[in-house]
Amino acid sequence: MRRKAQITFDFLIAIMLVTVTVAGIVSIASGETANARTFDSAAKLKILAVDLRDTVTQVYAAGDGFTVRKELPFELKAGDSVTITLNSTTNRVEIAATLGGKTFKVAQRLQVPLYATSSITLGQGERDFNVTAQNVGGEIHVLLQG
Amino acid sequence: MSSSRAKAQTALEVLFIAGIILIGAAILLPGYMNTNTDTVVLMHVKNAADNACSYLGTGVEVNDPAYSSLNAVIKEANYSSIQCKVSRTFIDSSTESSINLNVTVIYSGPLEVSKVKNAISGFIENWLESKGFSRVNGALSYGGKTVSITVKVVRA
C-alpha cells in the first residue's frame, strides 16, 4: 500500500514534465492545421493558373472556333468566388479568389498575345467555363465564356 | 501502544522519501523548463521559416496581414514562384534570460538579397507574435527569455 503511493507520486512528477512538453507541441500543431488549409487552396489556385496559361496557348494555336471547357479543381462553397481575367494590358492570366473568407491573388504571364481583356466570375455551385478562340479581323482573340 | 509507535516511524520514513523526491524534482525542473523553452522557441522559428519559404514557393498572394511582408516580394517577382528553402535553423546561444537563433535560407531568382531577407525576418517576427510571443521593449520574448533571430539569406 505504502509502495504504491510512492510510485504514484514520482510518476505524477514525470507526467507533469511530459505534459509541459506535449502542451508546447499541441500549440504548434493546432496552428499548423489552419495554415495547411490556406496553403492547400493557394497551391490549387497556382495549379489552375499554370493550367490556364497552357490552355490559352493551346487554344490560341488551334485557332478560330476552338473551345476548351475547363473545370475548377475545387468546389465553391457559400461565400466563395473566383474571378479569372485574361488581361491584355499586362498580358497575364490573373486569378482573384475568395475562399473561406481569405482573398487569394495569383497571376501567370502568357506566352501568346492577348488582344482583348475578358473576365469571368464563378460563384457558389459554378465550376465550368469555356476558353474560346475567335478570329476578329485576322487576330485570334482568346476569350473566357461561362 | 507499540503498534502506534511503529506507525509513526513509517510515516516519518515516507515523509523523508517524499522529501528526497521533491528535492530531486526541484533540482530537475529549472533545467528541464529551460531546455523546454529553447525547444519550443526553436520549433516555432523553424516552422515560421518553413512557412515563409513554402509561401514564396507557391507564388500566390494571400490577403492576410500576417503575410503582408512576403506579399511585397511576391508582387515584385510577378507572382512567379521563388525557389526557396531553409537550409539550417539552430540555437546559437542560450542563457537564462536570452536566446539567439540563426536561420539560413537559400533562394534563387532575380530578387535582391536584402529584400528577401527583410521580408522573411519580418514574417518570422509577425508569426511569432501571433503564436504567443510577447514584445518587451521592441524585442521578442518567450517564457521570460529575450528571443533574437538572425536571418541569413543566400542567393543560390
Q: What angle (nearest 5°) sits at the alpha carbon of residue B29, between those of residues B28 and B34? A: 110
The answer to whether A109 faces chain B, any CB pair under 8 Å, is: yes
Which class for B96: exposed (0-12), middle (13-18), buried (19 or more C-beta within 10 A)? exposed
- Per-residue pLDDT band at B120 (split at 50, 70, 90): very high
Which class for B44: exposed (0-12), middle (13-18), buried (19 or more C-beta within 10 A)? buried
Q: Which residue has the higher pLDDT, B104 or A146?
A: B104
The pLDDT, as a whole number, for residue B32 is: 87
B77: which DSSP letter? T
Whether residues A45 and B60 touch (CB distance < 8 A) is answered with: yes
- Kindly provide the residue ranges of all beta strands, DSSP E only, lying in A16-138, ordered along the sequence: 67-71, 81-87, 92-99, 102-109, 118-122, 128-136
| A35, A105, A108 ranked by CB distance to B51: nearest | A35
- Per-residue pLDDT band at B13 (split at 50, 70, 90): confident
Task: Specify whether the backbone of B123 is left (phi greater than 0), alpha (psi in -120 to 50) or beta.
Answer: alpha
Q: How many CA atoms lie within 13 A of A144 on its CB side?
A: 24
pTM above 0.95, yes or no: no
The pLDDT, as a whole number, for residue B41 is: 92
The pLDDT, as a whole number, for residue A6 is: 52
Can you give the residue range of the structural domain that contains A39? 2-145
The pLDDT, as a whole number, for residue B1 is: 46
Whether residues B58 and A42 touch (CB distance < 8 A) is answered with: yes
Residue with the three cell numbers 479581323:
A137
B53 to chain A: closest CA residue: A39
Q: Contacts of residue B10 in chain A, CB cutoff 8 Å?
A: 2
A-facing residues of B in 96-115 (CB < 8 A) are: none
The interface predicted TM-score (ipTM) is: 0.73
The domain total for chain B is 1
Residues B84-93 have pLDDT tens digits of: 999 999 999 9
Q: Contacts of residue B59 in chain A, CB cutoff 8 Å?
A: 46, 106
Q: Contacts of residue B64 in chain A, CB cutoff 8 Å?
A: 38, 102
Are residues A69 and A10 in contact, defined by beta-carbon separation less than 8 angstroms? no
Comparing C-alpha atoms, which of A39, A70, A64, A76 is closest to residue A52? A70
Residues B18-36 have pLDDT tens digits of: 899 889 889 988 888 888 8
**Rounded mean pLDDT, B69-89:** 89
The domain total for chain A is 1
Q: What distance in Å separates the CA atoms of residue B147 and residue B138, rounded to the nearest whole number?
A: 11
SS3 B90: strand
Whether residues B58 and A13 touch (CB distance < 8 A) is answered with: no
**Rounded mean pLDDT, B129-145:** 89
| A28, A42, A107 ranked by CB distance to B62: nearest | A42
B20 to chain A: closest CA residue: A10
The pLDDT, as a whole number, for residue B2 is: 47
**Above pLDDT 90, what percent of chain B?**
44
Stretches in chain A below the pLDDT threshold 50: 1
User: Cα B48 to chain center, whole Å?
Assistant: 9
CA distance B47 to chain A (A): 9
Whether residues B14 and A38 touch (CB distance < 8 A) is answered with: no
Decide if pLDDT at B5 tops 70: no
Can you give the residue range of the structural domain that contains B94? 2-155
Task: Specify whether the backbone of B8 is left (phi greater than 0), alpha (psi in -120 to 50) or beta.
Answer: alpha
Are residues A49 and A19 in contact, defined by beta-carbon separation less than 8 angstroms? no
Residue B150: all three cell numbers together: 538572425
The pLDDT, as a whole number, for residue B136 is: 87
Interface test with B, best of A1, A39, A47 (most B CBs within 10 A): A39
Residues B43-72 have pLDDT tens digits of: 999 989 999 999 998 889 998 888 999 999
